[in-house]
Amino acid sequence: MESLKYDLTNTPLREVNQFLHSDASLLNGKHIEINNPNGAHHIAVGLKSEATVTIHGHAGYYAAGMNQIADVTIEGSVGSGVAENMMSGRVHVKGFASNAAGATANGGLLVIDGDAGLRCGISLKGADIVVGGSVGSFSAFMAQAGNMVILGDAGEGLGDSIYEARLFVRGKVKSLGADCEVKTMGAEDRKILVDLLERSGHSDVSPESFTLYGSARTLYHFNVAKSGAY
């Protein structure tokens, strides 16, 4: 695989991102390495090619946001909104992810080796998220579709106002949000969990150690008798 290297101490990020937005035929199958990111915001956003991008260090806000097809690895921690509105492809964070990781993501796989902050997977719309550590409060808030695997603990209000997403949690949950409840894990659910554990590098973790959470479906229709609860 052909490798191209950029150093953000010498090359402006705008120039690097412009190159990453080149015609897909020029980028497909290439490996782009970005050195000395030093927490810069919006690195590798909106990619639409089958390129492999490695960011050697920490990235700022919205790293790999709106990703399509590309495979992006961040060898450090990231600020808010990593892989925000991702459509497809894969984003791998080898450190900690701050708030709203994977927000509104429609497809693809987001892997976070460390912990994730508040609102991880907020308004998730079909992507898969695997967190090797714990997640902060109000994660999966209004999650509509997709799957979230948490190998650590979850903070307050997990899955508040959840729709049809699946939440697999191995550790403790501080509290569940409105309309989120423990579900029975069926054969299809288990198959999805096993697949995500394998794809995220956690094939040695037993799927039996997870609890499945999902929607109780009591908020789908307005009930005037319970209007005080809304």
Condensed to tens digits (0 to 9), the pLDDT of residues 7-39 reads 999 999 999 999 999 888 788 888 999 999 999
pLDDT at 3: 82
Torsion of CA 104, 89, 60, 31, to 10 degrees: -170
**DSSP character at residue 176:** B
Quick one: how far is CA 216 from the chain centroid?
A: 24
Unique residue bearing structure tokens 């790999």: 64
Is the confidence at residue 220, as pLDDT, over 80? Answer: no
Average pLDDT of the residues of the chain: 94
Each residue of 170-188: pLDDT tens digit? 999 999 999 999 999 999 9
* Sequence-ordered alpha helix ranges (H) in the chain: 13-20, 24-27, 187-199
- Distance, CA of 49 to CA of 205 (rounded, Å): 32
For the chain, percent of residues with pLDDT exceeding 90: 88
- For residue 227, what pLDDT is reported? 56
Summarize pLDDT for 94-130 with one digit per residue, the tens. 999 999 999 999 999 999 999 999 999 999 999 999 9
Q: Say what the pTM is.
A: 0.94
Query: What residue spans define the domains of the chain?
Result: 3-202
